[in-house]
Amino acid sequence: MSAGGAFGGNRGAKPVPPEKGVFPLDHMQLCDLEKKDYIKCLKSSGHKSENCRNFSKRYLECRMEKNLMAKQDMSELGFGQKTSDE
């Protein structure tokens, strides 16, 4: 057997934040309120996601704050900088 154990895992290794596109489940429901707000908005808007962008942004920000996804600039996720006209 390898030093990693029967299943090849590296026991004791420190976990690293996931890569973009990999979303671990929120088992502890750390962002449950943000998720529920986003789903509620989708249902009330006839599933038009463009109407719920602010909820989507808050949900992603929560996931980054709680280390449920890799931290990155919101502009990389499709959220541009706000202008004074918005």
The structure's pTM equals 0.65
- Half-sphere exposure in the Cβ direction for 21 (13 Å, CA): 0
For 10-28, what is each residue's pLDDT tens digit? Answer: 666 776 665 555 667 888 9
Output the DSSP codes for 12-61. TPPP-PPPTT-----TT-TTHHHHHHHHHHHHHTTS-GGGGHHHHHHHHH
**Token pair of 81 as six digits:** 């900088």
Residue position matching structure tokens 């290794």: 13
| pLDDT surpasses 60 at 80 | yes
Domain ranges of the chain: 32-67
Do residues 63 and 69 lie in contact, with contact meaning Cβ atoms separated by under 8 Å? yes
